[in-house]
Amino acid sequence: MKIAYTINGIFNSAGKERTLISRANYLADKMGHDVSIITTYQAGRAPFFCVSDKVKLIDLDVRYDKEENSRFRLIKNVFLKRIHRQRLQEILEREQFDIVDSLMDFDFGFLYKIKDRSRKIAEYHFYRYSKVKEARNKLFKFLQYLRVRTWKSTVKKYDRFVVLTHEDAGYWGNLSNIEVIPNFIKLPENISSDDRKKIVLSIGRFTYQKGFDRLIDVWNIVHNNALDWKLKIIGGGDKDSIRRKIESYGLEDSVVLEDATPEIAREYCSGSLYVMTSRYEGLPMVLLEAMSYGLPVVSYDFPCGPVDIVKSGFGSLVPNGDVNRMASEILMWIKDDVKRNNGSKYAIEESKLYTEDIIMEKWKALFNGLL
């Protein structure tokens, strides 16, 4: 089978890029498919995560203007979208793929219109109203809401539309072409966390979405009741605002900020408890990965994902934004060594529901059903 994925780029350390590369590698290396990743603008930058030699990389070299203050951004991007469609169409007609899967970036609005021989899939790695959550004022929230509402008519035109959770599927309403397929994780081989280490871990890009500002508010309470524990936050992006918040609480000796790293296994093994305070996600891979390394997890019940993942035997699900309850749950796990040790074992077992082989069988069935 000949399969192509389309995405803006694969140079970031974000979960969407990591998931895509892992899936492409599996399809090429373990299932023997002919797989390509078509990027809109990679610009010669190396992929952040390792891509198999068997996966072909094709860059369209179309650089959209993302500057919000650019006077001619909209006009320029309309012109660039025409170039983008032309270049992508040339690739699809030349390569004759069986399946083309869009990660719903710039090509989402026109990929389904390209009349090559391929069946078209769109997949969304957030929850439906994530763009509304990102908007900082009422006008932009309303405009984003209207924009997101139009997406439903577009996803209907794809052969299949894939979301990550049943929770998110509910937000899209009654769609005949919708499928729920979670992302998979690679189970570590004979490696696990040490629940005796007094480190609480959180991983993600330093963005508004990830809610590390909310985590620092929580940690200010936790630290005063667990002076010998530290919080470690790992990720790329601008850390200045988080540093200022840490300093305002006087937590400089209690909170460690580190840059993103491809050696993520080492980081999971450095902690004893995983905490997540995002404002929204699609399916938080870091929760599943933390579980696979034996980390109990404490998470806000944000949309979407935690309610599908977190169970009482190995974690705590906290009402979204309840700072005091979150601090209380973290302290409960910190202070109960037996509970943390048992939770570590349960977390590993639960994570096995999301292994490569199990999830890729779902993709195999979807592909075969389209051809």
Q: In CATH, what class is 2-183+355-370?
A: alpha beta
Instruction: Return d(Cα 124, Cα 104) in angstroms, integer.
Output: 6
Over its C-alpha atoms, the chain yields an Rg (Å, rounded) of 21
Structure tokens that stand for 151 in this block: 């997406």
Q: Please report, for residues 6, 84, 88, 193, 308, the alpha-carbon distance to residue 3 in angstroms, rounded to integers and kept in the order given.
A: 10, 19, 14, 36, 29
Lowest-confidence region among 24-33, 75-84, 271-280, 362-371: 75-84
Question: Which residue reads 């040790």 in tokens?
Answer: 341
Residue 42 has which token pair? 């990679």
Of the candidates 92, 115, 83, the residue with the CA atom closest to the CA atom of residue 36: 92
Instruction: Give the count of beta carbons closer than 10 Å to the beta carbon of residue 158.
Output: 22
Say whether pLDDT at 69 is over 60.
no
The Cβ of residue 160 has, within 10 Å, a number of other Cβ atoms equal to 21
- Nearest CA among 205, 197, 213 for reference residue 321: 213
pLDDT grade for 70, boundaries at 50, 70 and 90 = low
pTM: 0.82
Decide if pLDDT at 136 tops 80: no
CATH superfamily membership of 199-353: Glycogen Phosphorylase B; (3.40.50.2000)
Q: Give 110-120 pLDDT, tens digit per residue.
A: 999 999 999 99
**Model pLDDT for residues 240-283, shown as the tens digit of each residue:** 999 999 999 999 999 999 998 888 888 999 999 999 999 999 89
Domain with CATH 3.40.50.2000 in the chain: 2-183+355-370, 199-353
Q: Give yes or no for residue 68 having a pLDDT over 60.
A: no
How far apart are the C-alpha atoms of 337 and 195, rounded to whole Å? 8
Query: Are 262 and 49 in contact, with CB atoms under 8 Å apart?
Result: yes
